[in-house]
Structure formats: structure tokens, C-alpha cells
Chains A and B, each alone.
Chain A
Amino acid sequence: MRRTDSPHPGVASRPDGGSARDRILARLKAAQAGGRYPTPAAGEWYGPRDRNESPAERARRFQANMEAARAEVYRVNDGNWVEKLREILAAKGLTNLLLAPATPHGRLARQGLTGGAVACLAYDRPIEAWKPALFNDVQASLTAARGAIAETGSLILWPDADEPRLMSLVPPVHIVLVDAGTIHATFFDALQAENWAAGLPTNALLISSPSKTADIQQTLAYGAHGPKELVVLLKEVA
């Protein structure tokens, strides 16, 4: 076991009043020089990066980076994406899909899939009411992405009440609908342009590939704990 005689002066639990918080802050303040560095502005470094590329180039870069990380990317538009979704589900032999019927894209997908081989499920109650079913029975999910990042090939998700956090994580196949117009050059650009600092949601996420690990002999294996397959429907103006 760890030695109980703490090696740190003044750190051994002493009954001399004051909280751990106060003592830590007091030690830091006693040592602090303070104010020598101006707050660095990351924008100076990101400033000149990739701002001049056309939307088409940016979408290509995003797609190439995602595909290099083993995501499947399909170019779709408003008119055909539901059809593409149906094809993908059929090709993968999936028989159910978790979606958000309260969102416009969820409603369209449900309409398009009605009467087919795929049962549409809704995340319409708190997780406590159906955790085992989510973990054991759901084969795939469809969520929207709030945006994307070209530089690293990343999807930006802000899970919410309609598309909760576990929806993009637990089902083995995750299908994401993303609008090509929302692709930013860099992560920095995304959070500056949308002023994330003004208010972040409960959870904000970047997703850049199917779940993976190289923990056994540096051998890359997909499907560690999250989705084994990541499918991106990249929606462009028709």
C-alpha cells in the first residue's frame, strides 16, 4: 500500500483548521509570481490556415480525412438521402434503427422507412426505463451533426433531449447526417465562429472515426466500446 507518512510538508492531514482548498490555494498564492504572461491568443496561429478554400474543396478534404479513419462517407442531397439510408441499412442487413422522430430529419427518415424491413425505434424515455434494451437490442442509430471539421475529419455533435448522448455511442452502427455547409476549416474555427465560449451544452463532442483501440501490441482494432461502424451522409445542395 501507499506510504501513509505523506512526503509533502504541511500536507499530512492536520487538524489545524482551514480546508484542503484553502491550504492548496494559499500555497499557490504564496509562490505565485503572476501576470508575467499575456493571455495567448490562439487565433494568431490559426489565422492564416485554410480560409481560402472553396466549399467544395473543404468538403473533399473533410471526406478524405474521415475515410482515412475508416468512416464510410456518402454524398447525398435533400432529395435522396433517405433513399441512401434505406440502401445502407439493407446492405448491412440491419433490422432496426434508433432515430429522433421529433426532429425534421428523424421524421423524414421514419416516413421513408415505414413499411420496410427496418423497425424505427425512438429514444423517447429516460435511459433508466430501457437501458438493457438500448445496450442489447438496438443495431443502429441515426443522428444529425451540428457541424464538421475539415482539418481532422471530425463530426461535431451537441447531444440534446431529442438525440441523447448514448444514442451516438451504444448502437454498433452510427449513421450521421451532416450538412456540407457546416464544415469548418479547423476545430478552432468552429468554436470561434459559433462562439462556443458563450455557452456550452451539457456535452459537446467531436467524433472522428469508429471506436478503436491499439492497446494489444499496437495492432489497430475497430469496435472497442463504441460504434464499430461510422457512416456519414454528407448532404450538399442538390
Chain B
Amino acid sequence: MSEKPLHFMPTEGFRERSKAVVENEFLQKSFRAAMDFLMTKRAAQFPDADELESLRRLGERIRQNSLDKLPALLTQLETNLTRNGIHVHWAENADQANAIILDICKKHGAKRMVKGKSMVSEEIEFNHAAEAAGVEAIETDMGEYILQLAGEKPSHIIMPAIHKTKQQIAKLFAEQIPGVAYTEDVDALIQIGRTVLRQKFLEADIGLSGVNFAVAETGTLCLVENEGNGRLSTTAPRVHVAITGIEKVVEKLEHVPPLFSLLTRSATGQAVTTYFNMISKPRQPGEKDGPEEVHLVLLDNGRTQPYADEELRKTLQCIRCGACMNHCPVYTHIGGHAYGTTYPGPIGEIISPHLMGLEATATLPSASSLCGACGEVCPVKIPIPDLLVRLRSEINSKPGSGSPLQGQGAGYSRLMTAVWRGWAAIYANPAFYRLYSWLVSRFNWLTPAGQGGWTSVRTPLRPAPKRLRDLLAERE
């Protein structure tokens, strides 16, 4: 399985990638249709605005409680998992996480891995590390499987292959899977995937999965899914490795039902998913299946950075439902790949700067009109627009003057800062402002026709020949 490694440097080429998608009429229509579909389905799940609001408030409180007690809850989770017989590992970055998982593979002589859907495994680019180590890692979520065949990355965190049409998938299957004839019938395509992957589940010696919620109180890993590949990946092989970000823990088991309900309804507009899978132990004596060994890898990879700041910490409340993408006008126009990050859309714009540093992500917080839709739909009430504004000022402030965010000041420009200082001085002083406004209105013919980025897609800004105060004076 050869995959083209993609460079994670979102800032480079962001404009070009976005432009290419925006100018592709076909993609514009299909993204629009897909997002409308998801938005309608979500709305149908929340007919009662009061119920939605009170449930979101509860979701927010549960997540804030988790973060508030995070170090204690992680320790409690570790204690309870260990007591249950699950091995716990800690990784500070992608390299450490990959090394831990590949080490487990090596210990068991495991060469064939089946993977349930895990965005964290995308974040650490596990598949490349596995390939280099000679481990065949097969994606088994239908969307992820399609992308693995195509050598592409997910463009949406819930619907990874949302950018692909059934015609493209039909062609891909016919070309890549031996003995498969071209068919555009979706049921037939899914059955082809099922048949190929069943064999993989049968043969695999290790399974990898993500985690949706980790319950500290009981030492339980919860997985949400529709296909059954998550259950198979965590049950059929002899060894199961789960990987998750350190923020995914919740304190109590009773915190799970409200979050689960918010997640499925916000993500795909389902009252519930097909499966909710709660794993607390490896195979016990007398039990006839299930992995003999279960491992959990807890990943930091930059998450402790927003944790240190009270405002930015809210970023970690996220339950990865993808609703903010579905409702984002920018995402709907440029699609997930343009962002160049594992997590696209509004959540990507607020989390990627911490995972990758602000140098690599300086353009992302500006890829938003600040319309507020993301914050309005977020099931755990993350104030996404506020966080975007905060990150913009971290990026544009003078290096060393802001908080200790990695890459703070990456977009700092002396000229820009001077211009805004001047603007502020003029607008703060009535006499300056009167003089300035008189000058720009009387000399408006001097306004340049080319105004940089503004006029690249818009008509030039030209001050009116008379100011409001002039017009009012004339009326008297």
C-alpha cells in the first residue's frame, strides 16, 4: 500500500489549494450539497431549542470539569485501567506514540494490523511509521479504506471521503482491487469493501482504534461507530491498541450518555449510532474471544500548550463531532484538504496552531469570516470565533510580547503594526480625526485603483467626497 506522504505545512500553498477548489464548479456543488445534507439532519435531531441549549450547557460543564481536573483524572484513569488489566502508555509527541505502538507490534511479532477510524493516528501519521517498520496497517472504516487505496488524507473528521464521488470510488475499486468490475452501485461497492476487509479482520494479529471517551471512574474506553469495523478491530485480533489525546477523559460514567447524545446528533444527525462499544478489560479467563492484551496510548503532542491558558484551554473541550465544519461557509467552499492539516475547518483552525506551532499555521485563524456559525452549533459551547481572534493577535503581535505560544509573532510585520498604531492614534483624537477625514474626502481622487489583496477580488475602496458631518452641516 503506497501512500504519498504529504507535508504538513498548511501556510504554504493554502491560497493556491483553496483557489483551486473554489474555481472547481463541480466540487463547489458537491460540498454544498453534502453540508446542506448534514446540517438538515442535525437540525432535525434538535427540534426543541431549549432542550438543545440545556444539553449543550451540560456538555460544556462536563468537558470543563474534565479539563479542570485533568491531571488527577488521567492518573485515576491510569490506575483503573491498570487494575482492569489494560496497559497505559504516555507519549509527548508523534514520534514517541509511533514508537510505542510499533514496539507493541514487534513484541508480538505482529505484521498485519487492522485499524478502526482514528484521527489521532492520522495526526501522528502512524501509517507511514508502520510502513517504514514493515507493518501492514489497513484502514477498515469504509471512508478511510477508500482514501488509503487512493493515497489520500481525510478531508472531514467524520466523513473522511466526503470529497469523493461514487464514480471516482467505482473507478478506484476497479483499478486497485483484483477481480473487481466497475460498478457505481453504492450497495455493491460497500459489499466489495466488506469482502476484502473481512479477510483482513480474519488474518490480523493486532488492531488499532481511537477513543471517543475514556471514563476515569471505571477505567473504560468508549468507541462510537456505525459500521462495526471498530468493534472488529478491537475484538478479533489478539492485541488491541487504543490511542487518544489526553483531553478525552471524563470523570464519571454518567457523563457519557449526554456527551454521546450530543456527539451523534451533532455529527451526523443520528439519534444514536449503530454501535456504542465500551471496553474495560482484556479477555478474562473463560472468555472465548476478545484481545488478550489491551493497550492505551495517551498523547500530548502540543495539547498541554492551550491547557496552560485559561481561554485557550476551551479548545480541548472538543468532542470531535465535526458540526463546526459542516456549518462553516469557508469549509464548504474550500473543502478539507485546502487546510493542509489533520483537522480541517474551524476546529482545525483552533487546535492545529497548538499541535504544529503558529509558524506553520499562521494563515489558518484568518480562514474564517467570523460569522459565528461554528460557535453556535458547537455541542460543548467552545467560543470558536473568540479563540480565532485571540490566535490572530498572538500571530500578529511582536515576537516575545504575547503569551508563550509556540510561534507567537509568526505573522508580525513592523509596517502593519505601525499602520494600525497610526490608525488608532487618529481615531482616538477628535482633532486628528477631523483633519484626516477632511483630507481623505477632499483628496479622494488620489485613492489608488489597486489596493493589494482587497482589489484582487473586489472594487477599490474610495472615500466619499463629503463626510457625514459635511452633509449634516449642509442640511442645517
Contact = CB atoms under 8 A, between A and B. Distances in A.
A203 B278 contact: yes
Nearest to B58: A45
A25 B226 contact: no
A224 B190 contact: yes
B250 to A, nearest CB: 10
Interface string A192-229: 10001100111111111111111111110111111100
B166 A219 contact: yes
B382 to A, nearest CB: 16
Contact of B68 (A33, A46, A165, A202): A33
A47 to B, nearest CB: 11
Contact of B227 (A28, A30, A39, A211): A211
A42 B308 contact: no
Interface stretch (A13-21, A88-96, A110-118): A13-21
B334 interface: no
Nearest to B236: A166
B443 to A, nearest CB: 47
Given A1-B128, A214-B159, A217-B166, A31 B308 contact: yes
A175 B134 CA distance: 40
Given A20-B92, A202-B287, A216-B161, A153 B252 contact: no
Interface in B140-193: 140-143, 146, 159-162, 164-166, 169, 186-187, 189-191, 193
Interface in A155-180: 160-161, 164-166, 169-170
Given A46-B257, A224-B142, A20 B226 contact: no
Contact of B65 (A37, A154, A164, A219): A37
A32 interface: yes
Nearest to A200: B280
B228 interface: yes
B159 A215 contact: yes
A203 B194 contact: no
Contacts of B74: 25, 28
B254 A188 contact: yes
B141 A215 contact: yes
Contacts of B276: 154, 205-206, 208
A23 B92 CA distance: 8
Contact of B260 (A12, A40, A135, A187): A187
B414 interface: no
Contacts of B38: 218
A126 interface: yes
B189 A213 contact: no
A202 B231 contact: no
Interface stretch (A3-11, A51-59, A140-148): A3-11
A166 B287 CA distance: 11
B96 interface: yes
Given A164-B288, A165-B235, A187-B257, A226 B277 contact: no
A151 B235 CA distance: 28
B236 to A, nearest CB: 7
B90 A19 contact: yes
A132 interface: yes
A108 interface: no
A30 B275 contact: no
A104 interface: no
B16 interface: no
B61 A40 contact: yes
Contacts of A25: 71, 74-75
A160 B8 CA distance: 45
A204 B91 CA distance: 28
Interface stretch (B298-306, B364-372, B429-437, B447-455): B298-306
B394 interface: no
B227 A35 contact: no
B82 interface: no
Interface string B18-43: 00000000000000001001100000
5 contacts: A6-B95, A123-B288, A197-B253, A204-B280, A209-B226
Interface of B: 5, 8, 34, 37-38, 54-55, 58, 61-62, 64-65, 68-71, 74-75, 90-96, 124-125, 128, 140-143, 146, 159-162, 164-166, 169, 186-187, 189-191, 193-194, 197-198, 201-202, 217-218, 220, 226-229, 231-232, 235-236, 246, 251-258, 260-261, 268, 271-284, 286-290, 298, 300-302, 304-305, 307-310, 355-357, 359-360, 404, 406-407
Given A153-B271, A211-B227, A216-B189, 13 more contacts: A2-B128, A12-B93, A24-B90, A25-B74, A32-B71, A42-B58, A45-B54, A123-B288, A191-B253, A213-B226, A214-B268, A218-B162, A227-B228
